[in-house]
């Protein structure tokens, strides 16, 4: 479910913070593969293009490399 993340630097309150972004996920409900052109990161809402289920992206704590899980909305 969690491919290799892309790194991106963003500025928050005057400092640069590295964020992890992924560009695809597998729907936990229907197992459909969903490419996500703009990428997604912690806290983003995703929807399955096959079944329409909505998911919230959460990081798996202390995973190396960083991985994510999806929570149903």
Determine the pLDDT at residue 37. Answer: 92
- Is there a domain that residue 61 lies in? yes
Is 54 within a domain? yes
- Measured from the Cβ of residue 3, the count of other Cβ atoms closer than 10 Å reads 13
Instruction: Judge whether 44 lies within some domain.
Output: yes
End-to-end Cα spacing for the chain: 18
> What is the residue whose two structure tokens read 């096959």?
50
Q: Is residue 38 part of a domain?
A: yes
27: containing domain: 6-72
pTM beyond cutoff 0.75 = no
User: Which of the four pLDDT bands, split at 50, 70 and 90, describes residue 62?
Assistant: confident
The alpha carbon torsion through 32, 66, 56, 50 (nearest 10 deg) reads: -10
Tally of domains in the chain: 1
Query: Does residue 1 lie in a domain region?
Result: no
Residue among 46, 48, 43, 47 nearest 58 (CA): 43
pLDDT in tens, 20-53: 789 999 999 999 999 999 999 999 999 999 999 9
Nearest to 51 by CA among 68, 39, 34, 37: 34
């Amino acid at each position: 479910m969690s491919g290799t993340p892309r790194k991106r630097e963003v500025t928050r309150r005057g400092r640069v913070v590295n964020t992890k972004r992924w560009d695809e996920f597998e729907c936990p409900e229907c197992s459909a593969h969903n490419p996500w052109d703009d990428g997604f990161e912690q806290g983003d809402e995703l929807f399955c293009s096959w079944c329409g289920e909505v998911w919230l992206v959460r990081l798996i704590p202390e995973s190396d490399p960083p991985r994510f899980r999806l929570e149903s909305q």
